[in-house]
């Protein structure tokens, strides 16, 4: 498992020990290394001679994104498999706002048609939030209609963090939480704090439990 914090991580050197430049075999042993993209390097035998592994355009773009990655001071980026850089975990620990003191884990998966399509993001920690429902779906404009190919992984991570500091009750997934934030901000704050203490909260006629994060 590969962990990164803050700016310009270099997963190629840490994960594969290969510098990410050459996809041929190293040395005479014939043993294959893993490239930056999790693709088998080394010479692949074929009837006319050796072939070089082909690298998809999405992998080249992703390599560039990760070289410039900046998650900020409240995030940690983890690659569960260092050889698969299209799948990562984003851990957010807000240092201010309603969810201060909590730890929230997101999964981020980059599709094959990235950057023409945005990454897929899911919140794996149950949260009481207007823009994240209880099933972990995330409502973020740049993951939908406002996505543009010029945006990158850093922009997505910053967007996730922004939700913790400036929740938007006018574009909700959890409509009950959004209505409470609009109509009674103080009660909303008390409800969030109750969830952070692990208390069950009545939502839409039933009680929902949340993981305890603070006392």
Helices (H), 148-203: 153-165, 175-183, 185-196
> Helix crossing, 153-165 with 57-67: angle to 10°?
50
**Strand order, beta sheet including 2-4:** 2-4, 75-79, 87-92, 104-109, 120-123
Q: Is the dihedral of CA 156, 160, 163, 168 positive or negative?
A: positive
Q: Can 123 be counted among the known catalytic residues?
A: no
How far is 173 from 155, CA to CA, in rounded Å? 21
Active-site residue (options: 108, 139, 143, 196): 139
Residues 6+ apart with CB under 8 A from 103: 91, 92, 93, 125, 213
DSSP state of 96: S
H or E segment at 75?
Answer: strand 75-79
**Which residues are catalytic, by number?**
139
């Amino acid at each position: 498992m590969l962990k990164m914090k803050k700016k310009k991580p270099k997963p190629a050197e840490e994960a594969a020990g290969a510098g990410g430049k050459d996809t041929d075999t190293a040395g005479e042993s014939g043993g294959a290394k893993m490239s930056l993209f999790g693709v088998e390097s080394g010479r692949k035998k074929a009837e006319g001679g050796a072939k070089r592994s082909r690298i998809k355009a999405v992998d080249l773009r992703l390599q560039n994104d990760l070289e410039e990655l900046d998650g900020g001071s409240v995030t940690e980026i983890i690659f569960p498999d260092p050889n698969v850089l299209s799948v990562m975990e984003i851990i957010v620990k807000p240092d201010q706002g309603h969810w201060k003191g909590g730890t929230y884990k997101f999964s981020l998966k980059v599709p094959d048609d990235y950057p023409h399509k945005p990454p897929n993001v899911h919140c794996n920690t149950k949260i009481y939030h207007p823009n994240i429902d209880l099933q972990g779906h995330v409502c973020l404009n740049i993951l939908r209609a406002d996505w543009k190919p010029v945006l990158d992984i850093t922009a997505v991570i910053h967007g996730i963090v922004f939700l913790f500091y400036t929740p938007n009750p006018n574009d909700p997934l959890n409509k009950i939480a959004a209505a409470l934030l609009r109509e009674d901000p103080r009660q909303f704050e008390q409800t969030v704090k109750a969830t952070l203490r692990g208390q069950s909260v009545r939502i839409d006629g039933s009680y929902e439990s949340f993981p305890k994060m603070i006392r």
